[in-house]
Amino acid sequence: MSPSHRATSRSRGALVAGAAATAAAAVTLTVVLWPDGSGSGPQNGSASSRTDASPSPSRSYPLSTTPRTVPAVREHTPARGPGWKPGKDSTVVAADHQLADEAQLLAKELKISYRGETAARAGDVELALGTPGKGTAESYTLKTADDRVTISGPDEAGVFYGTRTLKQSLAADGTVPEGVIRDAPDRPQRGFNLDIARKYYTPAWIEDRLREMADLKLNQFGLHFSDDQAFRIESESHPEIVSPEHLTKAEVRDILKLAASLHITVVAEIDSPGHLGAVLKAHPDLQLRNTQGTPRQGAIDISKPQAAEIVDDLLREYAELFPGQWFHIGADEYQALTVSDPASSYPQLAVAAREKYGNGATVQDLTEGWLNDRAAVVREAEKIPKAWNDGFFSGGTVTADKGIEVEYWTGKEIGARPPQDYLAEGRKVVNLNDEFLYYVLGEPNNFVYPTGERIYKQWTPLVLRGTEPVPERYSKQILGGRFAVWGDFPNAQTQAQVADGIRMPLNAVSQKLWDPRKPELSWAQFKKLADEVDASN
């Protein structure tokens, strides 16, 4: 997860040399069922333009060009016509009441009126839901003809993304081009991960990032709020662990409300059995100690029943607060496993392992069992558990449950294995490659701030570790990815500097998660477009 304990140096050689191979090997072609059932998406480039255009309304107009957006649309069928831009009588209407919020937001952004659930007329934008289940999730079709725009999709999220395309096209070129856009994401999980435990961020700053994410069609916000340095959300079950500077539950609910309106799922994380320093500060009797009585930073003693009780209290409390379908249970960097002989250093863990799992069980098995037990608590709350990849071990008596999503961040920590190992076991994986997607404040342990250009040119969802992609046959198991900010040296940058530093990386990640193929635009063109689109916000 976070690189706070990492002391290994990293070779950064051959990055550029690997870029061409990465780009070639990591291409993913996805068959997309569009909302209108019209078949598959484009086969080459960021967007395709069909040539079977019909004049609308007159052949005196040249064929339209593909709208310029971030991420780029996957397919555009051009047509002849003036396109659309809001006029003095333009309004937004919703064909379905479920889309009223999306329609009102768009009307506010375009500075035109929302006319409710009524028939569209010339100059209008109409939002409509298609047949439920017909079409790929989050897909949409945007049709521009006869001085009106219709955005339809199989779900509200897809229609919302269509409104983002409309908004960006107007910002970039002043018009929405004539024709039909058919668009859908390549990966279902596309997001941003924020460590507020080491560095506090204000609710306003977080909400600004959510709005930024929404315009980039990112749909998952990971919130790491518990670590050794602080516990940053109000707690009713254990108020003694909460740090002075924290988010109240009322503030969190406001954040969650905004996120839901923008079709972003907030994924809370309570890391254990490591990274629990803030909790252990209030409960020192639960801290892991070796035979000499020396405590291990952030590590809870998992041989004690009270350790599971307090962590499960917190999991249940925050699973109720956060309504999303996932919950992150951490599992990385447990310090008991970093010593040469865990059983000798921590005999209480070895005894507990044998008592629970049999004579051949080890401290590793007890740790893996802890992961499974926490995952069971999360499942009771009807959540899908996530955990960092270095919490999944091999060769032991206890195996991690296959239903836990693997969040792959590193191949260097204790227990970490090459990504193919997890994929070969049939596990579902989310990409948080620390080579490309880790923005670590202060740049410790050979980390450097990732650039949007490098992500844009070299990274795809298949590049899980280092710079080399995994084989294409594993593509469907890779659910997506998130760009992550970690606060190892919290004062290294201000909130404003962080926002500025991650802007282009988020743009690049958005593009490569929506469509991982080689983009049509050069980096200079892409950056210019991102600047033009951002200037309108």
The tokens for 398 are 């206890």
Residues 3 and 438 sit within 8 Å (Cβ to Cβ)? yes
- Residues in the chain, overall count: 537
The Cα 464–Cα 467 span in angstroms is 8
The Cα 146–Cα 82 span in angstroms is 9
Kind and range of the H or E run holding 223: strand 220-224
Instruction: Please identify which residue in the block is written with the tokens 């409390």.
Output: 317
Amino acid in the structure at residue 293: G
Cβ-count burial 505-514 (b if 16+ within 10 Å, e if not): bbbbbbbbbb
Q: What share of the chain is helix, strand, coil (3-state, %, to 5)?
A: 35, 20, 45
Which of 75, 126, 212, 333 is catalytic? The answer is 333
Between the alpha carbon of residue 48 and those of residues 25, 153, 363, 420, the distances in Å are 21, 19, 54, 33
Burial class (CB in 10 A: 0-12, 13-18, 19+), 346: buried
**Backbone region of residue 172 per phi and psi (left: phi > 0; alpha: psi in -120 to 50; beta: other values):** alpha
The Cα 151–Cα 141 span in angstroms is 6
CA 109 from centre of chain: 25
Cis bond leading into 273, ω under 30°?
yes
The Cα 453–Cα 476 span in angstroms is 26
Q: Is 333 a catalytic residue?
A: yes
Q: Could you tell me which residues come within 8 angstroms of residue 17 by beta carbon, excluding any fewer than 6 positions away?
A: none
Q: Which of 341, 44, 29 is nearest to 186 (CA)?
A: 29
The tokens for 59 are 């052949």
Q: Could you give the residue numbers annotated as active site?
A: 333
